[in-house]
Structure 1
Amino acid sequence: MQYIAASVHMNASEILNFFDNRNTNASMESLNTKSEDFRASQRGVNDNTFSYIG
């Protein structure tokens, strides 16, 4: 129970931000998923300058 309380206390500003502003990180998660899908689709491509993502 202490672990849950500590986690909530550490992340209280982010948790409350959702209720205050309805902001989430869903758009960044979506962008991350798209970049991972692109990288996965480029397996076997020999032109690394085309498919390079930092």
Structure 2
Amino acid sequence: MAVPKKRTSKSKNKSRKANWKRQVYYKSKKALSLARSTMTGKSTSFIYTTTNSSL
């Protein structure tokens, strides 16, 4: 089993964590924007299908 030879510095660890949090923030922001767009029904940037429940 591979074992790291030296301990990772706090700054490197914090940097990785901050980068991960930044990516999560932008992805969640985009998901919310997409959800709002589909709820209003005025979106023209993508195509999605709706199913009729009155069959």
TM-score under structure 2 normalisation? 0.47
Larger Rg: 2
Q: Tell me the TM-score normalised to structure 1 length.
A: 0.47
Q: Larger relative contact order (C-alpha < 8 A, sep ≥ 6)?
A: 1
